[in-house]
Amino acid sequence: MNPLCFIITSLITIANINNMKTFKQYLIESDAKQKIECDINGICKKIKEYESGGNEEKILSVYKDSKGLDTIGHGHLVTKESPKIFGDLNINPDVLTGKTKLTPEQAETLLKRDVSVRIPKVKKLIPNLGTYSSELQGELVSEYFRGMLPQSPKAVSLLNQGKFEEAAGEFINAKEYRESVKQKSGIYKRMDALANALKKEAARQRSQNSSQQTTQGPVNPSTSQNVPSR
């Protein structure tokens, strides 16, 4: 049998076995799994903790977020683009009108899509994102997901300069933070979490630099100077 025909036949067989999904759907999902590494740094897990932790049933229908905006799933803000997004993901858009509900699996698929779209945008804002600790990456993407990170240009500028502790202080120096503390809402806790992750990153990088210098060892004065010839 022609190798190409064999591969196609095998894929069709697997697709038929895979919960009777269509071949097109199987290819879309397989391709998505290869391209989307949603939890590579615990980003999806972090967002789920903040957006839907303890509300797994509630998030399967449209609900109001902390700002009173229509939301569904793990923090997906409902916009005019949502019906098309749902269609592309093979999710019935009727969930947006309350005629049906998301399944937990669909909520997960939607989250992976949302995160995969946002990560490149965060990297554009913070080019060194991939070099930070997994904790800091998760917090940064989460705050971008919430819409707060782009509203803190000075904090982002300090971060990009490697001034992590200064960035931490600037990020929580915000009206939203102070209002949240007064109202005892959960927003300030999320902002504190990012600030703390920034401070830890400062300590981590200092430790790394110190370790590298120790590994290189001190310079021997006798070998660093030119010895006069006799």
SS3 sequence of the chain:
CCHHHHHHHHHHHHHHHCCCCCHHHHHHHHHHHHHCCCCCCCHHHHHHHHHHCCCCCHHHCCEECCCCCEEECCCEECCCCHHHHHHHCCCCHHHHHCCCCCCHHHHHHHHHHHHHHHHHHHHHHCCCHHHCCHHHHHHHHHHHHHCCHHHCHHHHHHHHCCCHHHHHHHHHCCHHHHHHHHHCCCHHHHHHHHHHHHHHHHHHHHHHHHHHHHHHCCCCHHHHCCCCCC
The better pLDDT of the pair 22, 167 is held by 167
The answer to whether 52 and 59 have CB atoms below 8 angstroms apart is yes
Q: What contacts 151, CB < 8 A, 6 or more positions away?
A: 174
More confident residue, 200 or 51: 200
Residue 10: is its pLDDT beyond 90? no
pLDDT at residue 224 tops 70: no
Q: What is the mean pLDDT of the chain?
A: 81
What pLDDT shows up at residue 36?
39
**Cα(63)–Cα(96) distance, rounded to whole angstroms?**
10
Residue type, 18: N
pLDDT value at position 52?
Answer: 85
73-116: pLDDT as tens digits:
999 999 999 999 999 999 999 999 999 999 999 999 999 999 98
Residue 60 · residue 103 · CB < 8 Å: yes
Domains of the chain, CATH where assigned: 41-117 (1.10.530.40), 126-210 (no CATH)
Structure tokens at 63: 């609900």
Radius of gyration of the chain, Cα coordinates, nearest whole angstrom: 24
Which segment of 25-39, 109-123, 169-183, 193-207 scores lowest on mean pLDDT? 25-39
Q: Does the pTM exceed 0.95? A: no
